[in-house]
Amino acid sequence: MDTIRVSPYSLQKKELTDWVSVLGNDPAFADPRTSSVDWCRVRVPHNWDDYHGYHAVSHGNLHGTAWYRIVFEEDALDAGARRYAFFEGVGSYATVYLNGEKLGYHAGGRTTFTVDLTDALIEGENHLAVKAEHPEGIDDLPFVCGGCWGSPNSEGSQPFGIFRPVWLESTGPVRVDPFGVHVLTPLVSADLAKVKTRTSLSNPGDETRLVRLRQEVWDEYGNCLAESEAELSLAPFGKRTLEIDIPEWKSPRLWSPEFPEMHRIRSEVYVEDQLSHEVDTSFGLRWLDWPKIVEPEKGALGASSRGALIHDGEQPRTFENNGLSHILHREDESKVVSAPMGIAVRQLEDTNLDRAELSVELSLRGSASAGEEFQVLFEIQNEAGTVFFYQHRVSVPLFEGENSIQWEVPTIRYPRRWSSPDHYLHRLLIEIRSPAGELWERSETLFGIRGLDWNSDLPLNLDRPRYEKIETKAGEEEKRERRLKLNDKPLFLRGTCEYETMLGNDHAFTDDQIEADVSMMLAAGFNAFRDAHHPHNLRYYDHWDRAGIVCWTQMGSHVYFDNERFRENYRQLVREWVVERRNHPCIILWGLQNESTLPKDFAEELNEIIRELDPTSPQWRLTTTCNGGEGSDWNVPQEWKGTYGGNFNDYSIRDCQLVGEYGAWREFGVHTEFSYSGNENDRSETWACAAMEAKIRIGEEMRDEAVGHFHWVYNTFPNPGRAWDNCEGPGNAQIGSVNNKGMVTTWHQPSDLYYLFYANYADPQVRPMVYIVSHTWPDRWKDPQPRTVTVFSNCEEVELFNGVSERSLRRLKHPGVGKRYQWDHVLPVTNLLHAVGYHNGEKVAEDLIRLDHLPEDPGLRRWIGEDGNSSDTPGDCLYRINCGSRKDWVESTGKVWTQDSPWKKGADCGWESWGNRFDNVPDDLASFGDTMTPVRNTRLQEIYRTYRFGREHLKYHFRTGPGRFRFVCHFAEPWFGVGSEKDASRLRLFDVAINDTVVEEGFDVWERAQGHHRAITRTYEIESNLEIQTLHFPYVSVNQAILFGVECYLS
């Protein structure tokens, strides 16, 4: 291990990045005398659970114990100097050792903790060790693996390891505690600002210290606006909180979405006139006015669907009511359908107060001879179809006559039960699909989970409680403000949510990765962000502060564990969460989770902790649950019409005021020619875009009557506990179990949904864009006939061409928000479609795609431009590989590029990827792709049609023998910057290495090529004594490394 040198006198903060790590649970690993020679080198942030949640299993996530070590060097400490290790996140339990001595412990990886190292330091080398435990079946933390508890709505995998940065901090004898400066703004207006601070100070030493605290307020322009000082005596091992009133100042610069002006408090701690610690604390000046919150009735589809109770739902099912089974969709030519009264949900005898045990019986009628297998999908949801409990898929051979299927539903923990005063219903959704996947029948069955005295011989799906709608008389409806106001200006929230996950480094995001994700969301025009569903890396809030984005932060708990360890850990984590984030002006909501099962009294207790630590709540910041749960200021509903039943055209945010989630399943790369009416839900990208487009339009129409809505979700993420075949998409995208509703894929490639939001939310004056739908539909004209072409754009006008600015198919004016540009009856005569966006008659954006099965357009060469990229490298070429391609290609000069082959025993060359680690998935799963846009500046068009992508596990091996070699790598940027002329640099950053030598650091394809779909080559020379040379990407800072082609020459 390398050592890090630390000055004993300076006040410094140094990041600890280069560690060694090993899986295992040997207590001797804490002892520095135990060798770590065989441990692997890792760069923190690091997560051992990198790909385990993606390899086509319902619960594949990695659990266990990992150890980490790093060595730093110390000279003799100055008298009174202190050393601390500051951890931003270790999942799920962390135990910290220095030189074999245990110094600290922390439970719960999503918040920070600090360990005082001073008393265990030695002069010379110091060995810092961390044991990270992430066992199965955690029952004392609010964030747990849904796969362990059969609870997919716990939402997402959990990190395993040191997944956020670690810092070594040096101070004098007295310090400001971490996040110890609380900035309060008792008076804020456009005319005047008054600020006071509460500062927590610690003296961990054994001497009384006379302390002077000096604080200054600075704006972003280098102006000191106010200052103040105070003195105190701090006893040995003592802590004090000092409150200081900062002098007021006039005409303050306010924080707002349009002008996110930030200020900072510089705090300097002096001990005997020597600077002991200094801290900068950022804050903003703003105020909020929330409308009166009126929640839809509990357990209902919305207030408008309820009225006066007529019948309480105790009537047994009959042929007339069919036990609440309703056929939502049935094809006339369906070969298998549910039988009349053929659906029964039963409550089993081992149901108790804490859990419900259910079984589902489905009787079917078939009209086909035995043959291929058809598919049956079961889903247990809440009545509104917004809370998902379990999913089950089964394949059944086609049959003639009657058949039946039984499903033993996994345990539903702490269920909400049907009772006379609370007619809470659950929903069973059943889909029957053909062998080819076409929908034959979709039905819903409503049922109530009953008390322990329920006769288990009776089905739960009895008659539905019925209500008589109460008509509102003219003039009776309350006239009230429904909008949120920030600094007295209405603010309509156009929000998105994100999980800190990505294929290959779940949760272990670098600063650059966070910056990239933030820039993508900002480019798409979102003005609000929701943590999904756990506290995010602290850098997110810094970005939102600077960008003027408001944030709904969350401390996630879906599963409630009825034990005191859980409750005490939760209380402590809530305290840490609030203290870390309360100074950020971006934060407007504190969230106590999504679809919560927390008991009301415990949620109220957590609510009071938030109030105690953040006096701006509830005046400026409300507390929430989302779609279930009591005890907060606001149980924010979700609205999933069209996705979990219903019609997306019936979407409404007016009654809800704020929609916590709306979204749609979508399978990446799946498109249809269908025109949707709102309730089909075939999970194609076409369907998802139609549904989201309608909801964007409806939301904007109601923006003056509501607070806003949050799209679910920015990125598809691993979702343990769901069925394994909840996949990103078919073929190369068939990774699961995931929650595949993302605007970007699990590997962070934008889908059509991303461009839909971009077109509707981004400011066309700042970020004009145009996108032809779709860039993943190359064979659309395999059968040549007129079709509808859709373009997403925010430009004033868009003109569509067949060819490069040739054969205009008409210029259209912008159709309005939530509406697409559309050209009907398009039959291209050549293989290029070109869309040009205009503002004030000037071209401001363009997009171009190449279609298969059509004659080549003569304008293609003009688009490609000058040939700055070829395979004319001198020397004897040993290998030319067409990355991602399944066929060889021969240049006009006779040079042969071989297809991309896997590395096998005895092979001469080939690739390896993350899929090689798992036996149950293809080796190349989610590691290759193709682009429909011709790449400029190269005549090697066939090479630049396909590519391979990945992270540290992507490697190319070449059997060469020893020698001197030249590698020519062909790159282009196919994902980022499409349809826009705006900067898309720093959205892909990776190192390139050959064998053990890094030959390029932080390679940014877009920046080097100065645009997307522009070819660029990089040449690397090495000398090696090895038999096999390996090209690989040992460190990927942002998203995925990418490679279109590689050549290997004798140099």
pLDDT tens-digit profile of 648-671? Answer: 999 999 988 999 999 999 999 999
Looking at residue 478, what is its pLDDT? 54
- Would you state the pLDDT for residue 385? 64
Q: Which of 557, 719, 547 is nearest to 60 (CA)?
A: 719
Query: Which residues face 183 on adjacent strands?
Result: 197
Q: Is the pLDDT of residue 353 over 80?
A: no
Task: Please check whether the two domains, 312-465 and 876-1050, share a CATH topology.
Answer: no
Strand partners, 203: 238
Give the residue from 564, 550, 554 showing the smallest Cα distance to 260. 550
Rank 120-124, 152-156, 723-727 by mean pLDDT and report only the highest: 120-124
Rounded Cα gap, residues 624 and 636, in angstroms: 7
180-289 is classed CATH 2.60.40.10 = yes
> What are residue 169's DSSP bridge partners?
13, 84
CATH architecture of 490-760: Alpha-Beta Barrel (3.20)
Q: 555 near 592, Cβ under 8 Å?
A: yes
| pLDDT of 313 higher than 50 | no
C-alpha 1031/C-alpha 959 separation (Å) is 12
Superfamily of domain 770-862: Immunoglobulins (2.60.40.10)
Query: What does the pLDDT look like over 41-99, one tens digit per residue?
Result: 999 999 999 999 998 888 889 999 999 999 999 987 788 899 999 999 999 999 999 99
Q: Is 876-1050 CATH 3.40.50.300?
A: no
Q: What pLDDT, on a 0 to 100 scale, did the predictor assign at position 393?
A: 81
Query: What local confidence, expressed as pLDDT, does residue 21 receive?
Result: 98
The DSSP secondary structure of 278-311, one letter per residue, reads: EEEEEE----EEPPPP-PPPTTSS-GGG--EEEE
The residues, ordered by sequence, that sit 6+ positions from 407 with a Cβ below 8 Å of its Cβ are 359, 360, 362, 378, 392, 394
pLDDT at 772: 98
Does residue 145 register a pLDDT over 70? Answer: yes
Question: What is the pLDDT confidence band of residue 6, given thresholds at 50, 70 and 90?
Answer: very low
Average pLDDT (252-271) is 97
Determine the Cα–Cα distance for residues 752 and 32; give it in Å rounded to an integer.
52
Smallest CA-to-CA distance from 245 within 189, 180, 179, 183 is with: 183
Class at the top of the CATH hierarchy for domain 3-171? mainly beta
Q: What is the pLDDT of residue 308?
A: 45
* Stretch (H or E) spanning 568: helix 564-581
CB 146 within 8 A of CB 557: no
What is the CB neighbour count within 10 angstroms for residue 431?
Answer: 18
Higher local confidence (pLDDT), 1044 or 725:
1044
Q: Which region among 290-299, 426-435, 480-489, 1015-1024 has the lowest average model confidence (pLDDT)?
A: 290-299
3-state DSSP call for residue 966? strand
Q: Return the pLDDT at 302.
A: 35
Strand residue runs (E) in 722-869: 738-739, 770-773, 787-793, 797-802, 808-813, 821-826, 832-839, 842-850
- What one-character-per-residue DSSP string does 706-745 give? S-EEEES-SB-EE-BTB-TT--SSSGGG--BSEE---SB-
Residue 879: which of 1035, 1042, 1028 has the closest Cα?
1028
Confidence tier at 310 by pLDDT (50, 70, 90):
very low
Domain boundaries, the chain: 3-171, 180-289, 312-465, 490-760, 770-862, 876-1050
Q: What is the reported pLDDT for 776? A: 97
In whole angstroms, give the CA distance from residue 994 to residue 1034. 10
Q: Which residues contact 532 (CB under 8 A, 6 or more apart)?
A: 155, 156, 497, 498, 499, 554, 594, 712, 713
Residue 320: pLDDT band by 50, 70, 90 thresholds?
A: very low
Residue with tokens 């068009």: 941
Question: pLDDT tens digits, residue range 900-914?
Answer: 999 999 999 999 999
More confident residue, 326 or 841: 841
Place of tokens 């920070």: 112
The rounded percent of the chain whose pLDDT value lies above 70 is: 92
**Residue among 508, 585, 497 at smallest CA distance from 533:** 497
| pLDDT tens column, 943-990 | 999 999 999 999 999 999 999 999 999 999 999 999 998 999 999 999
> Cβ contacts of residue 457 below 8 Å, gap of 6+?
none
Paired sense of beta strands 466-468 and 18-23, if any:
unpaired
Residue 315 has pLDDT above 60, yes or no: no
Q: Whole-angstrom Cα distance, residue 200 to residue 580?
A: 13
Which two tokens mark 14?
Answer: 């140094």
Give 789-820 pLDDT, tens digit per residue. Answer: 999 999 999 999 999 999 999 999 999 999 99
pLDDT of residue 481: 86
Of the pLDDT bands very low, low, confident and very high (cuts 50, 70, 90), residue 570 is very high
Burial of 236 (0-12, 13-18, 19+ CB in 10 A): exposed
Q: Please provide residue 1020's backbone torsions phi and psi, each rounded to the nearest 5 degrees.
A: -130, 135
Question: Is 60 exceeded by the pLDDT of residue 558?
Answer: yes
Residue 433 is predicted with a pLDDT of 86
Handedness of CA 114, 120, 124, 127 (dihedral sign): negative
pLDDT of residue 870: 61
pLDDT at 420: 66
Average per-residue pLDDT for the chain:
91
Query: What are 798's strand-pairing partners?
Result: 812, 837
Q: How far apart are CA 215 and CA 220, in angstroms?
A: 16
Residue 895 has pLDDT above 50, yes or no: yes
Residue located via tokens 């739908």: 773
CB atoms under 10 Å from CB of 168, counted, come to 20
The architecture that CATH gives domain 312-465 is Sandwich (2.60)
CA 1040 centroid distance within chain: 16
Residue 292 has pLDDT above 90, yes or no: no
Write the burial class of residue 232 (CB in 10 Å: 0-12 exposed, 13-18 middle, 19+ buried).
Answer: middle
| pLDDT tens-digit map of 323-348 | 567 888 888 888 999 988 789 898 88
Supply the pLDDT for residue 155. Answer: 63
Cα gap 485→549, rounded to integer Å: 14
Mean pLDDT score, 411-436: 80
What's the CA angle centered on 718, arms 714 and 724, to 5 degrees?
130
Non-local (6+) Cβ contacts of 406 within 8 A are: 359, 360, 361, 362
pLDDT, residue 1040, reads 98
- Tell me the pLDDT band of 375, cut-offs 50, 70 and 90: confident
